[in-house]
Amino acid sequence: MTFFDLGVRKIEFKLCEELFSNLEYRAAKRYVPALYQRNYYPYYYCLGNYFRPGSILEIGTRFAYSLIAMAQGTMAEGRSPRILSIDLESYNHEFGSIPSQKIAKANFLSCVGHLDHIEFLKGNSQLIDPGPFGPFDLIHVDGDHSQNGAYSDIIRYFGNLSVGGIMLIDDIDHPSVHKGVIRALDTLEISADNHAFLPTKHGCILLRNIR
């Protein structure tokens, strides 16, 4: 039995439509299919609900769907976590450049109800110094999906986890991300008892910092 025997099924899943009922910006269904998957963002809600982090870092926030779910799960237990979001200012889309951080703030405010204790940083996660902002109890890595990018984000920010803290790496069904994760596990010498697979739509890996 690994540390990730969370008893997640004991926590009632909230429907995605409930989690995101107040979105200011809802991307078209075909662009965000996971938003309509019951086994994706509800897992993030459960992670926040179970671990009750006092601080959260998200690398690659985009429109804040994951961050909203994690924050709502955490706050359901009476916590008001300190949150840091790191992302690029905008994304190129077939309809033009989308101001992702502006949308993320609007979505978070609408769904969570306030922007207290949250800071949005614009920039490349691999160039930002994480030192002044840590440590963090929960880090969600969903940024650069190249092998080197995923590897660098994991290595760069794992040291900013609190002892016992959790790092969640999304989209490991991407071959390049998967290779970056394998490299990082080897570099960090993380044992089988301290990482686990989370069977979401695109697959996630959880790492625990025991140092």
Q: Output the average pLDDT for the chain.
A: 82
**Per-residue pLDDT tens digits for 143-176:** 988 999 999 999 999 999 999 999 999 988 889 9
- What is the pLDDT, as a whole number, of residue 154? 95
- What is the pLDDT, as a whole number, of residue 15? 65
- What is the pLDDT, as a whole number, of residue 131? 77
**Per-residue pLDDT tens digits for 31-71:** 444 455 556 788 888 889 888 999 999 999 988 989 999 99
**Apex 178 CA angle, 46 and 138, nearest 5:** 35
Match 């002892």 to its residue by tokens.
163
- What is the pLDDT, as a whole number, of residue 46? 85
Chain centroid to CA 140: 3
Show the domains of the chain with their CATH numbers: 23-208 (3.40.50.150)
Largest CA distance in the chain: 48
Instruction: List the one residue out of 169, 167, 138, 157 whose CA is nearest residue 54.
Output: 138
- What is the pLDDT, as a whole number, of residue 1? 38
Peptide bond into 135 cis (omega under 30): yes
